Amino acid sequence: MNRQFALWRRRAAVACRRGAPAAFSGQDTRRGSRNGTILIVVLALAAVAAMIAVGLYSYTGTTIKSSAKSAQSEQSFYIAEAGIERAKAALMTSQNGLNDELLGADGVPNTADDGILSFGSTVNLGSGSHTGTFRVKIADDNDGDSNLYADLNNTVIVTSTGLYSGIARVIEVTVSNQSAKIVPPNVDGAFAVYGTNATVELGGDALIDGDDHDLPAAFNCSGAGCVGAENTNDATAGLHFNTNANLTTTSAGPHHPVLDGDPPVETNAGIYTATDWISFGQNCIADADIIYSGGVFAGNVSIGSRADPQIVYVVAPTHFSGNVDGAGILVASADLTFTGTFHWEGIVLFLGDNAVDADLEFRESGSTYLYGAVIVVGANGDIDVGGSALVTYSSDALNNLANLGVFQPQIDARSWRTIKPVEW
């Protein structure tokens, strides 16, 4: 026993001198080696875990940034869409085809405002850090000519760029303006004639007046009750010719025929052309509520109202010998005669054969109270206004035509695409 103890002491002393652990317990020193291996494995796993954590953090940050950028890009897209809708609303009010919009406010080609619409080149949306901007411009489509400032088919290309948080998205839409079906907000005259060799004969106590007038107090009026008061709104010409025509007056009435307006008579190009009115008339014919195929109508006739105007088409010679109260658009491609009382609020359009030969006769020898405008299109038109005819411009009568639902403005999108944005 003592000998064994002495042996352990010697081993311990030797171990201490060598830096090795004492084996007082009699256990194998290989256990210490295993403990070191475990420590190394733990450290390695910790390093791997740290690298994974760093990778996850980086990935999460990248994903968050990517999501934010995607959201900003989507906002830019919506802003660009808002620009397209704003452009469509502006194009609805176009009257001269789309030429005015292609030329810009200055009406001159190859200038900075070409293709810029009425609301300007850029529009800001929102406020502060959430402000977005769209920029809109239009250009002529491929309508068969080489003139980029002449629109032949009421179709243009609208480009809208939306910008949000430095990210731009661009939408390009080809749109068609169906404004030919819009009732013209203005006219060239209370009585406007488009075509060569037209003859206008004024007699009796006829009055053609381009001064703006209120409508009669009662729609189903009679006598002096059908005379509306003159107002202070802007006037138009009394009698308008787009080219030279024959005008004769006779003094058959005690007060003689009278022409009034600003000016009473004019000859110039005007706002509209014969082609404009032919297109308008053809649209009216396609949507006519009432068609007269000729004959004599002796009784009282009521057609529409101010709240519910009608489109009437006279396709064959028609004679109204009774009283007529009407509101809306009356299109005649045949002779039209009134010998009774004719009260009409809106537009009376005499439409020739493709503006080549109207060869129409308009005979008025009774009492006429017409508020709005009379339009005659075509060559060789023969217009005879006599009796106690009153043909006067009335913006109220024209405005009421907006109640014709089929004539609401329409903008059709024919094609749509996103394109690569250019530098803002």
- Count of structural domains within the chain: 3
Residue 310 located in a structural domain: yes
Is a pLDDT exceeding 80 seen at residue 287?
Answer: yes
Query: Does 53 lie in the same domain as 98?
Result: no
The pLDDT value recorded for residue 384 is 72
The pLDDT value recorded for residue 161 is 94
Query: Does 206 lie in the same domain as 138?
Result: no
* Highest mean pLDDT: which range of 155-159, 250-254, 281-285, 386-390: 155-159
Segment 203-212 mean pLDDT: 86
Residue 268 located in a structural domain: yes
- Measure the CA angle with vertex 360, ends 178 and 286; round to 5°: 30
Query: Does 272 lie in the same domain as 368?
Result: yes
Is a pLDDT exceeding 60 seen at residue 5?
Answer: no
Q: How many Cβ atoms sit within 10 Å of the Cβ of residue 257?
A: 21
Per-residue pLDDT reduced to its tens digit, 296-354: 888 888 899 999 999 999 998 888 888 889 999 999 988 888 788 889 999 999 886 53
Residue type, 230: E
Alpha-carbon Rg for the chain, nearest whole angstrom, is: 42
Tell how far CA 204 is from the center of its chain: 45
**Which range among 34-38, 172-176, 319-323 shows the weakest confidence by mean pLDDT?**
34-38
- pLDDT band at 139, cuts 50/70/90? very high
Q: Which of 18, 39, 65 is the last residue of a domain?
A: 65
Residue whose pair of structure tokens reads 């005979």 in the numeric block: 363
Residue 184 located in a structural domain: no
SS3 350: strand
Is a pLDDT exceeding 50 seen at residue 358?
Answer: no
- CA-to-CA distance for 314 and 294, rounded, in angstroms? 7
Query: Does 97 lie in the same domain as 57?
Result: no
Query: Does 82 lie in the same domain as 29?
Result: no
- pLDDT band at 65, cuts 50/70/90? low
Which residue has better confidence, 412 or 208? 208
Is a pLDDT exceeding 90 seen at residue 397?
Answer: yes
Range of 277's domain?
Answer: 189-407
Q: Which pair of tokens denotes residue 216?
A: 């009669």
Residue 165 located in a structural domain: yes
Do the Cβ atoms of 311 and 288 come closer than 8 Å? yes
* Highest mean pLDDT: which range of 13-27, 32-46, 134-148: 134-148
Q: Which of 25, 46, 65 is the last residue of a domain?
A: 65
Do the Cβ atoms of 300 and 321 come closer than 8 Å? no
SS3 94: coil
The pLDDT value recorded for residue 364 is 56
* Highest mean pLDDT: which range of 97-106, 232-241, 374-383: 232-241
Residues 6+ apart with CB under 8 A from 25: none
Residue 357 located in a structural domain: yes
Residue 424 located in a structural domain: no
Query: Does 349 lie in the same domain as 256?
Result: yes
- pLDDT band at 54, cuts 50/70/90? confident
Q: Residue 150 burial by CB count (10 A; 0-12/13-18/19+): exposed, middle or buried?
A: middle
- pLDDT band at 267, cuts 50/70/90? confident
The pLDDT value recorded for residue 126 is 80
Query: Does 145 lie in the same domain as 88?
Result: yes
- CA-to-CA distance for 86 and 409, rounded, in angstroms? 14
Closest C-alpha among 333, 286, 334 to residue 311 = 286
CATH number at residue 106: 3.30.1300
Query: Does 385 lie in the same domain as 291?
Result: yes
Query: Does 141 lie in the same domain as 7?
Result: no
The pLDDT value recorded for residue 83 is 93
Q: Which of 49, 65, 81 is the last residue of a domain?
A: 65
- CA-to-CA distance for 238 and 266, rounded, in angstroms? 8
pTM of the model: 0.59
Mind spelling out the 3-state secondary structure of 137-197?
Answer: EEEECCCCCCCCCCCCCCEEEEEEEEEECCEEEEEEEEEEECHHHCCCCCCCEEEEEECCC
Segment 44-54 mean pLDDT: 77
Query: Does 132 lie in the same domain as 48?
Result: no
The pLDDT value recorded for residue 170 is 94
Coarse DSSP helix, strand, coil percentages of the chain, rounded to the nearest 5 percent? 30, 30, 40
Query: Does 206 lie in the same domain as 175?
Result: no
The pLDDT value recorded for residue 420 is 76
Is a pLDDT exceeding 90 seen at residue 404?
Answer: no
Which residue has better confidence, 270 or 363? 270
Query: Does 91 lie in the same domain as 57?
Result: no
Residue 346 gets the label, from left (phi > 0), alpha (psi -120 to 50) or beta, of left
Average pLDDT of the chain, as a whole number: 79
